[in-house]
Chain A
């Protein structure tokens, strides 16, 4: 075997692949070959590093050099300069956003300093398509330990003691869920991995499956052992082709090693996993709807109880766990419950992965201990707001969550605190908004999503949300009145109280939380017919300042609808009846003569 002195880790997550990381890897391989370094330098495709903002990422170990936004044509420079001459390629290094100083070692980047990676432990570190690399990182040792040294009940007790709660959004204690299934009596039981990640802006489950599929497979087998299930199913959305492909490869390798199949580790325990594809319906993340979809029925939720742990897939007891929940299980077994429950807050243990998106400098995937504050996440790890603008709100929990303002920035993040603050953990999407975002429009955006995704089974969700949307639409068009705000609130309450499943029960959250936190903004829309953020197009009016206009005709020439009139070298006018509020004139004017109101 070649004795490598250096490894080049190239990110192979979906984000980096979209910006040609495969070409980067191929070019690096070719350059390494060309300079006869194949025996010394290993080029490895890994999962997501989390720093998606600056992808594609190439990391050189052992010196931990972190190259960002690497283009395929940079490959020869990296090989020539770094590998052969030992000089770091400065222009590819990450630059500290404030001091502009290049940072070569990823350990010195604020982005990584505060992170604790448990679920993401192998993402960006191992090759997800090589089971050996997973095994080198203690992979399948937890399964071996469970099968060899522990009874199913002992494993369940360990998970219970770790305090882990479901990472998919509900926060139900994982150990308890397993225990209920283990106590249900049936000839066949199932383990289901819920990989139907549907929140807008959330991509942690995809990244785990792309970067470390074996951790999920191992955890499913452990769950199978605890609950006496022999069949595992992964319900994954068909829109995740790379995750599906890596998962398939991983399952195949695990079977070849005998880590899936009959008599695992020479014991009487047998377990195998197959995949089920979802068509990307948000409601199918709800466990009963997910199970119906897997059975070939319509993806509609049904009333609980009975819970899936008692009667789930094909009427048999079924444990449904989210990807991120499963990915942490091997660590809990290997390092012990005490390691896990020493991290986090009183009622939320361990770490949580968040997908940072929106108007934030470091868009990406992060994992922090429960109890980290929003301020640390947004300003330290996330690098603050884009373009130096002012922070306005952060949306957590996707369409079921709410918007949190400045006053919540120092709240430690955990399940209970977020609910008390009027939002929720959800699957971990975090969308950051700045002063240019109109909160009424944001609420409307989420409602539009829920409207699309409502399965239509129960009336409050199907019709109630439609009415909510209509009221919001009216308000953003400047046609609302103050009574609408009262109606909004009472309708929200009814939908929350009477909907069948989690989707309907939480769909009014974005409206309620914005009503609570940004009531002034709603008032401005209905009272003064004004949008303070200038985002609601119907409420915006562009006017030309007579004193400043020089009659250069630039706006006249650029207006796409011919709403501007005026002779050369004389003042121009905007006809607001024709204007479509595209803002082109405002951007083009060189004399600051156009104002928005």
Chain B
């Protein structure tokens, strides 16, 4: 273990650690950042939701977009798996279907960054008990 001799040493260590820690901090601040839920039930996983989730996490991190990516259960759109629900702060959640890596990149680029809508939005066909 290296000794911390200067303020710079401390800052370096802190920045290194904060990357690992971002997950917990983001969880604490979830309302104010982009939230993505990836449907990961049997059908979702079978059609590649796990890779999409990994891709989203890596891609968002590379582009330095603060976001929380979590998995969720079956959203019911099994015909359009993999599906993801994207919530941009201050907006209604939107569900995208048939998301492959290409489309995932498009969603990040167009919807999350530039706020343009992308094809393949699934209609919300039910209400939850929350609203």
Contact = CB atoms under 8 A, between A and B. Distances in A.
Interface stretch (A61-69, A220-228, A296-304, A441-449): A61-69
A62 B68 contact: yes
Interface residues of B, number: 33
Contact of B27 (A1, A62, A138): A62
Contacts of A266: 5-6
A96 B2 CA distance: 48
Nearest to B21: A136
Contacts of A87: 41, 72-73
Contact of A63 (B4, B40, B41, B70): B70
A306 interface: no
Contacts of A265: 4-7, 10
Contacts of A97: none
Interface in A110-157: 125, 132-133, 135-141, 144, 148
A95 B107 CA distance: 36
Contact of A85 (B20, B41, B68, B69): B41
Given A61-B23, A256-B1, A258-B5, A144 B10 contact: yes
Given A85-B73, A86-B73, A136-B20, A63 B27 contact: yes
A63 B73 CA distance: 13
Tell me which of A64, A85, A138, A148 has the highest count of chain B C-beta atoms within 10 A of its own C-beta. Answer: A85
Interface in A264-281: 265-266
A6 B20 CA distance: 11
Given A64-B30, A137-B21, A258-B4, A86 B41 contact: yes
A133 B17 contact: yes
A259 B4 contact: yes
B88 interface: no
A7 interface: yes
Given A87-B73, A136-B20, A62 B30 contact: yes
A557 interface: no
Contacts of A136: 14, 17-18, 20-21
B40 A135 contact: no
Interface residues of A, number: 34
Interface of B: 1, 3-7, 10, 13-14, 17-18, 20-21, 23-24, 26-28, 30, 38-42, 53-54, 57, 68-73
A62 B70 contact: yes
A132 B73 contact: no
A148 B9 CA distance: 13
B69 A140 contact: no
B13 A132 contact: yes
Contacts of A258: 3-5
A257 interface: yes
B31 to A, nearest CB: 8
Interface string A225-262: 00000000000000000000000000000001111000
B80 to A, nearest CB: 17
B10 A135 contact: yes
A219 to B, nearest CB: 16
A4 interface: yes
Given A87-B73, A256-B1, 12 more contacts: A5-B54, A6-B70, A62-B30, A64-B27, A85-B40, A86-B38, A86-B41, A87-B72, A125-B28, A133-B17, A136-B17, A139-B14
A135 B12 CA distance: 10
B21 A138 contact: no
Contact of B23 (A6, A86, A135, A148): A6
